[in-house]
């Protein structure tokens, strides 16, 4: 809804329904790209090098800020949600067909990349829709639904869908996801409210020259994917040993560039203020926030440790002797419950006690659990680890990560300014996902060279920079309900 526009008197459905369904739909394709793909390639015989390099499929989430402003300037967020969900369902059908005929890595990689681009666009639309149709009180109230729905979809894929894939085939698992996505699309055609003010029509978007640039970048990305070895076995990945070194160098340069850019924010902001373009207005408004450098640094650093852990999670448990079905069971039963309960309880606690009160406990509950993985790796080096103990570790880690997700999503919403909510959320979530890509690309190399126990210790130390920025963050106390009451005389 635009600034100052009257709030609609009624909605097509309760926010209890569409908040859950939209974030569930957002989590499904994300999990397929960032969880199922790496398990599929590992089962096909890929080395840890290649498993780590599947993090490059995450690039669209890093770059989605480039097209985020277009979702504010054209049509409605509801329109973009429906269009992207239709395209996602069709792409999943393509993956089902490719898996059924035994397509090679290049074909699978191209389809996963296409799915990633569509999913990243859907993310922008869903986040913007949430901010448009709900007022500030409702946004805080329903944040406890967002994270569980999103994580529930992710764990549904990495749990029961992985179990199904292990017992039957990945073709069957992908087919079930395609059916679920189609069902969610049909639901959204009925329940998503039409309370937004329509911007420019999509016909004008199709005429925009930026689409030609996007098409060129997509072709370039497909060419990069084609450079991966078509033979993804251990021997095949060694024949392309230059890939990890090139990727590591690229990660180093990108990290230096991102950190260095924080020192020139004032110059960038001044340049943006002089430009009348749509991008300049959205980015300039974002950079006008108080202590924006600390915001950017925190968003970039917050999930680095978790990202390192997640990319090597399945290979680690596989090395301990856990089967695909057992791993799916652990993630999809008690692990799923813990992942749903964690952010739900976190959202309730934050709405009642305030973000400033709970940010430290919830962040520590997420990051300290990396040490539990290091302990389990040391145990695995000296004795056989029972499956029940691995399941307990997965469950505890899922609960702690859920608490961290709740506090982080509330903070991201605080950093979105009214006139460019979708664009600002796209900027923030794109920055957040940079750590996933950077950590993922080098994760396989580090795990193979260090071993899992030192690797998981490293993942904990990677969480420290983000925690050191917390005392300097703005927006921790934004609403009146979070301002501490004066002490009685």
For 437-472, what is each residue's pLDDT tens digit?
777 777 887 888 889 999 999 999 989 988 999 999
Reply yes or no on whether the pLDDT at 376 is more than 60. Answer: yes
Q: 190-204 burial, b for 16+ CB within 10 Å, e for fewer?
A: eebbebbeebeeeee
Task: Give the pLDDT band of residue 181 (cuts 50, 70, 90).
Answer: very high
CB 207 within 8 A of CB 85: no
Question: Highest mean pLDDT range out of 41-55, 142-156, 303-317?
Answer: 303-317
Task: Give the pLDDT band of residue 232 (cuts 50, 70, 90).
Answer: very low
Report the interhelical angle of 265-273 vs 292-301 (nearest 10°): 110
d(CA 99, CA 305): 32
d(CA 79, CA 489): 55
d(CA 224, CA 277): 31
CB 84 within 8 A of CB 118: yes
CB 435 within 8 A of CB 303: yes
Task: Give the pLDDT band of residue 66 (cuts 50, 70, 90).
Answer: confident
Three-state secondary structure call for residue 416? coil
d(CA 45, CA 202): 44
Whose tokens are 């739900």? That residue is 344
pLDDT of residue 240: 45
How many Cα atoms within 13 Å fall on the side-chain side of residue 489?
Answer: 0
| Average of per-residue pLDDT across 54-63 | 79
- DSSP string for 6-73: PPPS--SS-HHHHHHHHHHHHHHHHHIIIIIHHHHHHHTT--HHHHHHGGGGGHHHHHGGGTHHHHHH
DSSP H helical segments within 383-420, as ranges? 387-414
d(CA 7, CA 133): 8
End-to-end alpha-carbon separation of the chain, Å? Answer: 44
d(CA 210, CA 375): 50
| Average of per-residue pLDDT across 294-301 | 87
Residues 421, 279, 249: CA angle, nearest 5 degrees? 100
Within 8 A by CB and 6+ apart from 48, the residues are 312, 315, 443, 444, 445, 447, 448
Q: Which two tokens stand for residue 29?
A: 């394709």
CA 278 to chain centre: 25
Rg (the chain; Cα; Å): 22
Reply yes or no on whether the pLDDT at 258 is more than 70. Answer: no
Whether the CA torsion 474, 480, 482, 487 is positive or negative: it is: positive
Whose tokens are 């986040």? That residue is 127
> Which of 335, 468, 337, 332 is closest to 392 using CA atoms?
335
| Average of per-residue pLDDT across 209-223 | 65
pLDDT of residue 174: 92
Strand partners, 200: 74
Q: Which two tokens stand for residue 54?
A: 């599947």
In the chain, where the domains are located: 15-201+210-477
| Average of per-residue pLDDT across 18-36 | 87
Whose tokens are 């949600």? That residue is 81
| DSSP structural state of residue 276 | -
Q: Which two tokens stand for residue 330?
A: 């652990």
Strands (DSSP E) contained in 171-253 are: none
pLDDT of residue 478: 59
Task: Give the pLDDT band of residue 306 (cuts 50, 70, 90).
Answer: confident
Query: Mean pLDDT over all residues of the chain?
Result: 77
pLDDT of residue 61: 81
Q: Which two tokens stand for residue 132?
A: 């448009």
pLDDT of residue 373: 94
Model-level pTM? 0.66
Long-range pairs, 224-231, Cβ under 8 A, ≥24? 224/56, 225/56, 225/106, 225/109, 225/110, 225/113, 226/106, 226/109, 226/110, 228/50, 228/53, 228/105, 228/106, 228/109, 229/50, 229/105, 230/104, 230/105, 230/106
pLDDT of residue 374: 92
Three-state secondary structure call for residue 74? strand
CATH for 15-201+210-477 is: 1.20.1250.20
Whether the CA torsion 70, 419, 146, 325 is positive or negative: it is: positive
DSSP H helical segments within 288-353, as ranges? 292-301, 304-311, 313-319, 324-332, 334-353
């Amino acid at each position: 809804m635009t600034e100052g526009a009257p709030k609609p008197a009624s909605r097509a459905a309760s926010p209890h329904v569409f908040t859950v369904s939209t974030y569930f739909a957002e989590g499904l394709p994300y999990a397929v790209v960032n969880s199922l793909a790496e398990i599929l390639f590992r089962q096909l015989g890929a080395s840890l090098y290649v498993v780590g390099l599947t993090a490059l499929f995450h690039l669209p989430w890093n770059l989605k800020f480039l097209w985020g402003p277009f979702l504010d300037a054209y049509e409605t967020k509801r329109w973009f949600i429906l269009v992207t969900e239709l395209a996602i369902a069709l792409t999943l059908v393509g993956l089902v067909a490719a898996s059924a005929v035994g397509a090679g890595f290049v074909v699978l990689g191209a389809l996963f990349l296409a799915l990633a681009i569509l999913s990243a666009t859907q993310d922008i639309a869903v986040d913007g829709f949430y901010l448009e149709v709900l007022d500030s009180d409702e946004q805080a109230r329903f944040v406890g639904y967002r994270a569980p729905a999103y994580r529930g979809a992710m764990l549904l894929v990495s749990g029961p869908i992985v179990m199904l894939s292990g017992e039957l085939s990945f073709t069957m698992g992908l087919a079930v996801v395609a059916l679920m996505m189609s069902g969610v699309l049909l639901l959204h055609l009925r329940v998503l409210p039409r309370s937004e003010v329509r911007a420019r029509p999509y016909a004008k978007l199709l005429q925009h020259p930026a689409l030609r640039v996007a098409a060129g970048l997509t072709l370039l990305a497909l060419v990069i994917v084609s450079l991966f070895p078509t033979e993804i076995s251990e021997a095949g990945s060694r024949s392309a040993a230059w890939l990890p070194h090139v990727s590591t160098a690229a990660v180093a340069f990108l990290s230096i560039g991102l950190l260095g850019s924080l020192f020139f924010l004032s110059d960038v902001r001044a340049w943006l203020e002089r430009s009348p373009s749509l991008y300049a207005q959205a980015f300039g408004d974002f950079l006008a926030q108080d202590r924006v450098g600390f915001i950017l640094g925190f968003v970039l650093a917050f999930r680095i440790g978790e990202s390192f852990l997640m990319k090597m999670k399945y290979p680690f448990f596989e090395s301990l002797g856990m089967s695909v079905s057992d791993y799916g069971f652990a993630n999809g039963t008690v692990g799923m419950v813990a992942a749903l309960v964690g952010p739900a309880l976190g959202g309730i606690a934050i709405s009642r006690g305030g973000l400033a009160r709970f940010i430290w406990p919830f962040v520590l509950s997420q990051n300290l659990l990396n040490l539990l993985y290091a302990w389990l790796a040391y145990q695995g080096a000296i004795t056989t680890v029972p499956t029940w103990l691995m399941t307990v570790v997965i469950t505890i880690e899922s609960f702690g990560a859920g608490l961290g997700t709740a506090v982080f999503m509330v903070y991201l919403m605080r950093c979105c300014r009214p006139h460019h909510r979708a664009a600002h959320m796209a900027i923030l979530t794109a920055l957040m996902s940079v750590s996933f890509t950077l950590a993922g690309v080098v994760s396989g190399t580090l795990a193979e060279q260090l071993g899992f126990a030192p690797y998981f210790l490293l993942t904990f130390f990677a969480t420290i920079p983000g925690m050191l920025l917390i005392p300097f963050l703005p927006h921790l106390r934004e609403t009146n309900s979070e301002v501490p009451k004066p002490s009685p005389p």
